[in-house]
């Protein structure tokens, strides 16, 4: 009986992929083939056949067969896209002729752990050395040793099989064979690759060789890129790398990062992916396909027809055409048909009665696929069936494609569910892994691979655990998970980063599992234990999403954690720490009012430590400032100062750090008072501070003393101005400069500092020419001063000069100054290293060099974006690019840019953040310019929903949005639709401003105009 036949036009597809591989080798550049089609149509079988034909074409003796002609389990073959580890035996005197790397998206999990790296590491460990030697051999760089004999080969391959890479490297060294490993392979880390033979010459090139436990753990994006470089570095035109991805529609961020890097390399790499477009489970795959659409080769998997399935029957059993056709008609799904053809029951019946067995009831020919699955289920023993039923009951959410369970928790739950039972659940799951290949067991969980069979196990679970039995088991499992989650996180050694990653993954996995079960039970049980577990689970997910820079989601999980912690009745330090964390996250996502509410709760704690209370008041002061309430900001700052004085004690009146800290707090208080125009209070607050500093010995020209003196003088000047006595800021600064020259000489540090401030004052007064002269003096005399140690750097001075030159219309000079600022700064310095890089293309666009400007900004966006999405810096560059497009009236491109920027800022800072609001405003303007009023209206309606959900129905932003919707309807000649929005906006203004507010009258006039238009219609 044969089951490995290739049916229909699948063979043509294999030939097409081989041609693409030839192109990859000839061009020495990467390419990707995507085989598309529904489940069971033969996509994976095409990949398996490609592997076999490539082996035969290259006469490759290194790679083992994927399939054998007889005795195979269909389910084992269903997702088999690479050789099993136990089959990689490295035959003597053989080298691989191609690299083969394989990843199954369905078994890569949720992305909590470095799943791609975890899947790749055993492949690197097994094949890294043979591929390295093959590459060096093809390059002519594999030096022959003293005795490269058959015996040496035997010793080498035996060492690699039995003891690992380290032992094999030692054998090479003992035989005088030098192998220079690619640096990227060492960076990724081959298991056990260490200095086993300390005499070998490669030791110096290995740099930091470590034991497995000491390999540095990297984040997802970096690990994916390291792996991609290792794969690419092992490839040659004569040794191509082939990367196979099963179920691309389930891909995660890390795999996307890996493929992005591979397709951007200059190496002969062929990526082959199977994909079911209709089953896409996230937007990661869609974004990946969109980004690489020009370089992908899509291939539609040919559907197998009735004749193909008939052929499959005849290839499997020696039967007539009539019997084969009838069998194919009854079971017209290739996967289900193959499952049935390989069932032991059919084989026994065929041996007993011959070909008629395929049609008789005795053979158990099923009416549909369910019969095949039932037969498959029947081959499992009772213990395995029970284990699988319990596993699916414990993970009831059908939206979860992988039913992840932890064996020990499942076994404990069953022991409580059925005390005294002899069924060994853990053993049942272990038995399900191998013989039936229903599940796999990476790390600490058991995962069902095939969705079809997970669903079928769920079907039997519902039959077996009828009534309240399933709910009882879920309740028990939830309780065990709650106990586990509520335990303090175990401390792991800092020398074992991989163990820390595994512990984080396990805690996150348990949190997701617990919350899923809790939602399924829907009992809202409010026991303190369950509420505490909910809090811990939400906190775990907050940390997880925060680590991924998904700050909006992180703040939502943190808020839920706080709510459940309060419900659990927890007080004291744990509640305080949770409140602090939630407040910080609210600030991060631009929800200041929510943060302030938490701050007020924190201040009610008894025995609140003064340090924490001081930080709360400082944070509250910043929130009040951002909200424009400078009086409240000053009040919080004063309370922070009093707390700081209490903390400092006697040290507050002595020279040292405590007095300096108090001074900085007073300087921040001055900002709030100045914003509110409270000049007399500034003099009252700062004068005693300056007197104290002078009294304890700080010199008059000391930096903080000079700043205090200037602020006091500025306040007095403002008071004089209010009385009609005007002294300009320029006159005051020139007086400070003259005083510095008379006291310290014309070229002293003090003069340098005062000229720099004078340049700033002149710039604010829009005296651009004089400001430029002062900045040029500051820069030209920089070598004579140590001022850089105290204030602005030379790079900052160049940036300031560039801004002045830009105001003077000296665009070329401004560009040169910006470039000098960049050359003196590090790339990570936002003020002098990043913003000038954004300013240059803006100037270039204004000079007509639009395409060059857009290219530069594209490069900056690409440089700072990550596989997980955009960052603060990439979004800032994207905004600059989109502004240019909008000015150039390239509205469709501008629309795409603002949409991406809005999505990015909403994810990082929240939907209601200022940056998101700016992008939304620009996007609406672009949409309306194009006449896309409906799209603009939809955007505004979504915003109103978010605003009112967060802050209530009547807020100024939501009212303004309603007015904009009314205007959009009016501009698109739909006055009937515009009228209710204007009416609702007027009602909102009355509610928050009063009926006598001028805006109410203006809205009334507008409404009357709309009503008049309606009467005309």
Closest to 193 (Cα-Cα) out of 180, 206, 205: 206
The C-alpha atoms of residue 232 and residue 226 are separated, in whole angstroms, by 10
Token pair recorded at residue 232: 């690419």
> Is the pLDDT confidence value at 536 over 50?
yes
Backbone phi, psi, residue 236, to 5°: -135, 170
User: Minimum mean pLDDT among 204-213, 569-578, 743-752, 893-902: which range?
Assistant: 204-213
The top-scoring range by mean pLDDT among 320-334, 372-386, 641-655 is 641-655
Burial of 500 (0-12, 13-18, 19+ CB in 10 A): middle
Q: What is the mean pLDDT of residues 526-540?
A: 88
Closest to 818 (Cα-Cα) out of 855, 856, 875: 856
In this prediction, residue 295 has a pLDDT band, given cuts at 50, 70 and 90, of confident
How many CB atoms within 10 Å of residue 569? 10
- Residue 842 half-sphere exposure toward CB, CA atoms < 13 A: 17
The C-alpha atoms of residue 956 and residue 961 are separated, in whole angstroms, by 9
The answer to whether the Cα torsion of 174, 175, 178, 183 is positive or negative is negative
Token pair recorded at residue 852: 């060059």
**pLDDT for the residue 839:** 92
Backbone phi, psi, residue 242, to 5°: -115, 120
In this prediction, residue 420 has a pLDDT band, given cuts at 50, 70 and 90, of confident
> Is the pLDDT confidence value at 453 over 70?
no
Q: What is the mean pLDDT of residues 141-151?
A: 51
Token pair recorded at residue 185: 């392979």
Residues 6+ apart with CB under 8 A from 773: none
Crossing angle of helices 657-675 and 703-722, rounded to 10°: 20
**pLDDT for the residue 350:** 83
Burial of 422 (0-12, 13-18, 19+ CB in 10 A): exposed
**pLDDT for the residue 267:** 92
Strand partners, 36: 275, 300
**Per-residue pLDDT tens for 30-49?**
999 999 887 667 788 889 89
In this prediction, residue 141 has a pLDDT band, given cuts at 50, 70 and 90, of low
**pLDDT for the residue 761:** 86
> Is the pLDDT confidence value at 716 over 70?
yes
Q: ∠ CA(542), CA(217), CA(407), 5° rounding?
A: 65
Token pair recorded at residue 216: 């540095």
Give me the DSSP letters along 851-890: HHHHHHHHHHHHHH-BTTB--HHHHHHHHHHHHHHHHTT-
In this prediction, residue 433 has a pLDDT band, given cuts at 50, 70 and 90, of low
| C-alpha 276: how far from chain center | 24
The C-alpha atoms of residue 733 and residue 749 are separated, in whole angstroms, by 16
Q: What is the mean pLDDT of residues 355-362?
A: 70
The C-alpha atoms of residue 866 and residue 874 are separated, in whole angstroms, by 9
**pLDDT for the residue 112:** 38
**Per-residue pLDDT tens for 748-781?**
777 777 888 888 888 888 888 998 988 888 888 7
In this prediction, residue 10 has a pLDDT band, given cuts at 50, 70 and 90, of confident
In this prediction, residue 22 has a pLDDT band, given cuts at 50, 70 and 90, of very high
Q: What is the mean pLDDT of residues 101-119?
A: 63
How many CB atoms within 10 Å of residue 65? 12
The C-alpha atoms of residue 991 and residue 1001 are separated, in whole angstroms, by 14
**pLDDT for the residue 170:** 66
Residues in the chain: 1017
**pLDDT for the residue 152:** 60
Contact 618, 635 (CB under 8 A): no
**pLDDT for the residue 203:** 31
Output the CA torsion 64→70→75→77 (10° steps): 30
Q: What is the mean pLDDT of residues 576-586?
A: 86
Residue 168 or 903, more confident: 903
- Residue 114 half-sphere exposure toward CB, CA atoms < 13 A: 25
**pLDDT for the residue 797:** 85
Alpha helical stretches, state H, 208-298: 220-233, 253-263, 283-291
Residues 6+ apart with CB under 8 A from 1016: none
**Per-residue pLDDT tens for 88-104?**
778 877 889 999 999 88
> Is the pLDDT confidence value at 397 over 80?
no
- Residue 365 half-sphere exposure toward CB, CA atoms < 13 A: 17
Token pair recorded at residue 430: 């272990």
Residue 132 or 898, more confident: 898
The C-alpha atoms of residue 279 and residue 273 are separated, in whole angstroms, by 14
Residues 6+ apart with CB under 8 A from 759: 771, 774, 775, 778, 800, 804
The C-alpha atoms of residue 412 and residue 479 are separated, in whole angstroms, by 11
Token pair recorded at residue 136: 């060096």
In this prediction, residue 167 has a pLDDT band, given cuts at 50, 70 and 90, of low
pLDDT, averaged across the chain: 78
> Is the pLDDT confidence value at 570 over 50?
yes
The C-alpha atoms of residue 440 and residue 319 are separated, in whole angstroms, by 36
User: Minimum mean pLDDT among 37-46, 240-249, 785-794: which range?
Assistant: 785-794
End-to-end, the C-alpha distance of the chain in Å comes to: 80
Token pair recorded at residue 551: 């700050």
Backbone phi, psi, residue 528, to 5°: -55, -40
| C-alpha 25: how far from chain center | 33
> Is the pLDDT confidence value at 567 over 80?
yes
Token pair recorded at residue 850: 């639009």
Residue 948 or 827, more confident: 948
Burial of 693 (0-12, 13-18, 19+ CB in 10 A): buried
In this prediction, residue 920 has a pLDDT band, given cuts at 50, 70 and 90, of very high
Contact 32, 292 (CB under 8 A): yes
Q: Which domains does the chain have, with CATH numbers?
A: 9-62+88-116+220-292 (3.40.50.300), 306-378 (no CATH), 609-727 (1.25.40.10)
The C-alpha atoms of residue 965 and residue 977 are separated, in whole angstroms, by 9
Closest to 130 (Cα-Cα) out of 185, 65, 188: 185
**Per-residue pLDDT tens for 172-210?**
666 656 555 555 555 555 544 433 333 333 333 333 332
Residues 6+ apart with CB under 8 A from 933: 927, 968, 969, 971, 972
The C-alpha atoms of residue 649 and residue 661 are separated, in whole angstroms, by 13
Closest to 496 (Cα-Cα) out of 117, 191, 189, 213: 213
**Per-residue pLDDT tens for 855-894?**
999 999 998 888 778 888 899 999 999 999 999 999 999 9
**pLDDT for the residue 161:** 59
The C-alpha atoms of residue 627 and residue 636 are separated, in whole angstroms, by 14
694-713: string of b/e by CB count within 10 Å (b at 16+)? Answer: eeeebeeeeebbbebbebbe
Contacts for 570-575: CB closer than 8 Å, 24+ residues apart: 570/532, 570/535
**pLDDT for the residue 441:** 45
> Is the pLDDT confidence value at 576 over 90?
no
User: Minimum mean pLDDT among 192-206, 348-362, 473-487, 979-993: which range?
Assistant: 192-206
How many CB atoms within 10 Å of residue 19? 10
The C-alpha atoms of residue 439 and residue 652 are separated, in whole angstroms, by 66
């Amino acid at each position: 009986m044969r089951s490995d036949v290739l049916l229909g036009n699948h063979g043509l597809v294999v030939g097409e992929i081989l041609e693409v591989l030839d192109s990859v080798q000839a061009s020495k550049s990467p390419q990707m083939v995507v085989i598309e089609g529904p489940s069971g149509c033969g996509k994976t079988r095409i990949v398996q056949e490609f592997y076999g034909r490539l082996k035969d074409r290259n006469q490759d003796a290194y790679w083992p067969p994927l399939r054998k002609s007889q005795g195979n389990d269909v389910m084992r073959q269903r997702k088999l896209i690479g050789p099993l580890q136990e089959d990689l035996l490295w035959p003597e005197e053989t080298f691989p002729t191609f690299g083969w790397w394989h990843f199954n998206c369905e078994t890569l999990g949720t992305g909590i752990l470095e799943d791609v790296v975890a899947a790749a590491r055993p492949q690197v460990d097994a094949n890294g050395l043979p591929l390295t030697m093959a590459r060096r051999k093809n390059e002519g760089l594999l030096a022959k040793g003293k005795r490269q004999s058959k015996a040496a080969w035997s010793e080498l391959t035996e060492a690699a099989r039995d003891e690992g890479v380290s032992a094999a490297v030692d054998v090479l060294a003992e035989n005088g064979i030098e192998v220079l490993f690619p640096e990227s392979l060492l960076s990724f880390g081959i298991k056990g690759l260490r200095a086993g033979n300390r005499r070998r010459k490669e030791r110096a090139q290995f740099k930091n060789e470590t034991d497995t436990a000491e390999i540095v753990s990297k984040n997802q994006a970096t690990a994916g890129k390291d792996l991609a470089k290792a794969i690419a570095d092992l490839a040659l035109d004569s040794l191509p790398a082939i990367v196979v991805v099963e179920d691309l529609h389930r891909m995660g961020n890390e795999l996307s990062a890996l493929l992005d890097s591979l397709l951007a390399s200059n190496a002969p790499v062929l990526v082959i992916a199977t994909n079911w477009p209709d089953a896409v489970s996230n937007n990661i795959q869609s974004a990946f396909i969109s980004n690489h659409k020009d370089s992908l080769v899509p291939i539609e998997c040919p559907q197998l027809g009735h004749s193909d399935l008939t052929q499959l029957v005849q290839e499997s059993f020696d039967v007539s055409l009539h019997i084969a056709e009838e069998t194919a008609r009854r079971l017209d799904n290739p996967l289900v048909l193959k499952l049935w053809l390989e069932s032991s029951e059919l084989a026994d019946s065929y041996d007993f009665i011959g070909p008629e067995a395929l049609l008789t009831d005795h053979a158990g020919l099923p009416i549909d696929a369910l019969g095949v699955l039932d037969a498959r289920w029947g081959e499992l023993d009772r213990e395995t069936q029970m284990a699988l039923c319990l596993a699916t009951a414990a993970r009831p959410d059908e939206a979860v494609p992988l039913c992840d369970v932890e064996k020990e928790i499942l076994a404990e739950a069953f022991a409580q569910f059925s005390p005294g039972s002899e069924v060994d659940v853990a053993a049942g799951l272990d038995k399900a892994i191998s013989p039936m290949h229903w599940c796999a067991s990476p790390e600490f969980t058991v995962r069902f691979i095939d969705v079809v069979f997970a669903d079928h196990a769920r079907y039997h679970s519902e039959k077996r655990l009828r009534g309240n039995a399933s709910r009882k088991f879920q309740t028990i499992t939830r309780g065990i998970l709650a106990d586990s989650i509520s335990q303090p996180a175990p401390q792991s050694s800092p020398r074992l980063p991989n163990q820390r990653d595994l512990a984080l993954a396990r805690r996150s996995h348990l949190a997701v599992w617990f919350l899923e079960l809790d939602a399924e039970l829907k009992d809202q049980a409010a026991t303190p234990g369950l509420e505490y577990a909910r809090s811990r689970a939400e906190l775990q997910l907050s940390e997880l999403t925060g680590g991924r820079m998904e700050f909006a989601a992180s703040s939502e999980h943190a808020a839920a954690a706080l709510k459940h912690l309060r419900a659990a009745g927890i007080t004291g330090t744990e509640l305080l720490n949770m409140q602090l964390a939630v407040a910080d996250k609210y600030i991060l996502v631009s929800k200041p009012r929510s943060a302030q509410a938490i701050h007020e709760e924190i201040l009610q704690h008894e025995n609140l430590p003064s340090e924490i209370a001081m930080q709360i008041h400082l944070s509250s002061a910043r929130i009040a400032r951002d909200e424009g309430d400078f009086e409240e900001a000053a009040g919080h700052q004063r309370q922070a100062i009093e707390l700081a004085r209490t903390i400092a004690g006697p040290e507050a009146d002595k020279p040292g750090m405590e007095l300096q800290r108090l001074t900085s707090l007073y300087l921040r208080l001055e900002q709030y008072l100045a914003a509110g125009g409270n000049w007399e209070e500034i003099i009252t607050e700062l004068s005693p501070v300056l007197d104290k500093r002078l009294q304890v010995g700080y010199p008059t020209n000391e930096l903080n003393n000079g700043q205090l003196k200037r602020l006091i003088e500025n306040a007095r000047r403002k008071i004089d101005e209010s009385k009609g006595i005007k002294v300009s800021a320029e006159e005051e600064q020139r007086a400070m400069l003259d005083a510095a020259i008379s006291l310290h000489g014309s070229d002293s540090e003090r003069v340098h500092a005062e000229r720099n401030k004078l340049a700033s004052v002149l710039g604010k007064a829009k005296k651009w020419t004089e400001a430029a002269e002062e900045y040029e003096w500051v820069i030209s005399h920089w070598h004579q001063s140590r001022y850089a140690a105290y204030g602005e750097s030379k790079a900052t001075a160049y940036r300031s000069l560039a801004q002045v030159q830009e105001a003077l219309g000296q665009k070329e000079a401004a560009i040169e100054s910006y470039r000098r600022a960049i050359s003196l700064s590090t790339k990570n310095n936002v003020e002098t290293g990043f913003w000038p890089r954004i300013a240059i293309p803006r100037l270039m666009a204004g000079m007509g060099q639009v395409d060059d400007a857009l290219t530069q900004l594209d490069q900056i966006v690409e440089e700072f974006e990550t596989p997980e999405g955009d960052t603060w810096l990439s979004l800032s560059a994207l905004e600059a690019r989109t502004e240019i497009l909008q000015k150039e009236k390239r509205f469709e491109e501008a629309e795409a840019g603002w949409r991406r920027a809005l999505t990015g800022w909403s994810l990082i800072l929240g939907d209601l953040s200022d940056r998101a609001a700016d992008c939304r405003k620009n996007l609406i303007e672009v949409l309306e310019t194009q006449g896309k009023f409906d799209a603009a209206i939809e955007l505004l309606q979504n915003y109103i929903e978010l605003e009112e959900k967060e802050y209530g129905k009547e807020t100024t932003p939501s009212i303004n949005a309603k007015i904009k919707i009314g205007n959009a309807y009016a501009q698109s000649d739909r006055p009937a639709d515009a009228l209710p929005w204007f009416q609702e906006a007027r009602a909102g203004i009355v509610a928050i401003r009063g009926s006598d507010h001028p805006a109410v009258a203006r809205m009334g006039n507008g409404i009357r105009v709309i009503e008049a238009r309606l009467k005309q219609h």
